[in-house]
Structure 1
Amino acid sequence: MSPARRQILRDRIAMSHANRVVAFQGAHGAYSEQACREKLPGYQSRPYKTFEDIFIAVEQGDAELGMLPVENSMAGVVSDSYDLLAVHNLHIIGEYYLPVRHCLMAHQGVNVERIHTVYSHPQALAQCHSFIKRHGWNRVAVYDTAGAAAALKEEHREGEAAIASALAAELYGLDLLAEQIQDSANNTTRFLIIAKDGIIPMPNVGCKISLLFEVRHIPAALYKCLGGFATNGINLTRLESRPVAGRDWSYHFYLDFQGRMDQVNVQQALEELKFYTHNMKVLGCYPESLRPESQGAL
């Protein structure tokens, strides 16, 4: 290959990497952006206002991937994310568990004794309840953690602080006054990575499969749906029910389990599942990420 041809290929590869974008919800410095940076360091992280904006950006090609929070170990399920997975035709290609480390930040030169009010997302304020109560501070809920840090930087409010990530403090030039102030040391958020096209995971890699289904209106339908996984020795890791949009008192179920689509026991379980369900939709088969702490099976 000629030197000129090699340079053309290098330029194309560099350009393709430069254009790789992962969409996240919130302002720069959000925990979702931290997940993007840690899990996908070769991608440019781009903020969007809503979760639905993430789906639209990936569908329209403005972003190659989306980083979507689906559950938190303290706050529970992110219902909007599951509802959007049901109505959009994107694929789950990966997951990531991010330890949430809340930090207290303020303008440079402000010390803890001068603070009287803290701003953050309602969940972050709740997750730092003991720390805030111990200091007797007022709490003000805002749209997101990184937005609280950005607003604090712009408005130069005296005696006020924000609770957000260390990344937010770095991006907005705020001083870190305290780190890891959350009540639970195991506070963790699970993210799913979504894309237009699915993937075939590498052989010998532990995988998860996520799917969505509605049960038929027959006695013991859910029990029969799950029975095929038990008889085929498949470990379920999550089961979540959500209302079906536009149909009152109708529900569908999200199921995560360990396995690969090419395994005989998985194929047998899915065949059995079809007898008791309708509108079954496989959302993705993807490499399983290690959790920060062990967790039992269903």
Structure 2
Amino acid sequence: MIAVAYQGEPGSNSSAVARALYPAASELPFTSFEQALDAVSLGAADVAVIPVDNSAAGRVADVHHLLPDSGLFIIAEYFLPIRFDLMGMPGTPLDHVEFVRSHVHALGQCRKVLHEHAWRTIVSDDTAGAAREVAELGDPRHAALAPPAAAELFGLQVLRSAVEDDPDNTTRFVVLSRQAAEAPARDEPTMTSLFFCVRNIPSALYKALGGFASSAVNLTKIESYQMGAGLSASRFYAEIEGHPDEPRVELALHELRFFSSEVRILGVYRAHTYRLSERRG
């Protein structure tokens, strides 16, 4: 049986993605992203399901700093529509709530309802963990912002459903493995994730990325990270549409390598169907 690691608790969004992708797998929840990644690196888990971006809150910063040195490969992506319910002790009237617990990102994605009721917020390690804390407290003044499944799991009552600010709120997850599982070069939409460090020369980044423009390769993401205490070298994380074996992508990567001191392919995987629906929309 495959073992899937994730950060969070049963009932969390990460747990929901793990079950959607690997319904027969055993789940290994961890309190931190680093622990989940280490579980895969050390062989305790086969894959890790990790959130990397949210449409409302932006990137999950801790993850992007951990990925370069994890030694793991991205083998799939998954887009999950995010829904948050406000849940509390059974029988609690909404006007009895004083404190709302959740993960910091969830609190940031439900600002409108928090502002409307002037509730005080308490940051928890995880959304489902916030629901568990409310159940353990048994105090009607405390409520949690958590995925709908957490209410039944921890015996809570939904006080108000779908309280997220943006009805199109979506989080992108990636699946990480010890071994690369490169998608075959076919006509199906493919994504390539990579890290690179440009040479410390004028216009190096501009020239390194020029090959993507001249080869008509869509660069969907690029983010920079400072390396160490010095300010002379930056590491970049990028995602492109296409497969490295496609001639146009191969040309773009060749130019990237010419102006870079390091280029490392992190994963070549099938584009999730959500990307196609976004294009049609």
1:93 corresponding residue in structure 2: 75
Match for 1:67 among 19, 28, 49? 49
1:283 corresponding residue in structure 2: 266
- What CA distance in whole angstroms lies between the structure 1 residues aligned with 2:175 and 2:53? 13
1:46 corresponding residue in structure 2: 28
- What CA distance in whole angstroms lies between the structure 2 residues aligned with 1:242 and 1:236? 17
- What CA distance in whole angstroms lies between the structure 2 residues aligned with 1:258 and 1:85? 20
1:77 corresponding residue in structure 2: 59
- Give how far 1:68 is off: 1.2
1:7 corresponding residue in structure 2: none
- What CA distance in whole angstroms lies between the structure 2 residues aligned with 1:40 and 1:258? 25
- What CA distance in whole angstroms lies between the structure 2 residues aligned with 1:65 and 1:141? 28
- 1:106 is aligned to 2:53: no
Counterpart of 2:3, as a letter, is: V
Q: How does 1:1-298 map to 2 (within 5 A)?
A: 19-202=1-184, 203-245=186-228, 247-291=230-274, 294=278
Is there any run of 5+ residues in structure 1 with no aligned partner, and where?
1-18
Instruction: Give the conservation status (yes or no) of the 8 Å contact 2:31–2:125.
Output: no
Q: State the identity %.
A: 37
Structure 1 residues 251-290: Cα deviation after superposition (integer angstroms, max 9, x where no partner): 1101100111221111111111111001211101000113
- What CA distance in whole angstroms lies between the structure 2 residues aligned with 1:249 and 1:138? 43
Q: TM-score, normalised by structure 1?
A: 0.88
Counterpart of 1:259, as a letter, is: G
Q: TM-score, normalised by structure 2?
A: 0.93
- Give how far 1:53 is off: 0.9
Structure 1 residues 55-78: Cα deviation after superposition (integer angstroms, max 9, x where no partner): 111111111110111111111111
- What CA distance in whole angstroms lies between the structure 1 residues aligned with 2:153 and 2:170? 22
- What CA distance in whole angstroms lies between the structure 2 residues aligned with 1:29 and 1:42? 16
Relative to structure 1, the CA distance from residue 39 to residue 195 in structure 2 (aligned partners, 3 Å threshold; closer, same or farther) is same
- Give how far 1:159 is off: 2.1
Relative to structure 1, the CA distance from residue 246 to residue 51 in structure 2 (aligned partners, 3 Å threshold; closer, same or farther) is farther
- Give how far 1:249 is off: 4.9
Structure 1 residues 92-121: Cα deviation after superposition (integer angstroms, max 9, x where no partner): 001111111111111222231322221112
Backbone CA RMSD of aligned residues: 1.8
4+ runs of 1 displaced by more than 6 Å?
Answer: none
- What CA distance in whole angstroms lies between the structure 2 residues aligned with 1:206 and 1:295? 12
- What CA distance in whole angstroms lies between the structure 2 residues aligned with 1:253 and 1:147? 33
- What CA distance in whole angstroms lies between the structure 2 residues aligned with 1:103 and 1:295? 29
Relative to structure 1, the CA distance from residue 274 to residue 72 in structure 2 (aligned partners, 3 Å threshold; closer, same or farther) is same
- Give how far 1:52 is off: 1.1
Counterpart of 1:253, as a letter, is: F
Q: How many residues end up aligned between the 2 structures?
A: 278
Is there any run of 5+ residues in structure 2 with no aligned partner, and where?
none
Counterpart of 1:238, as a letter, is: K
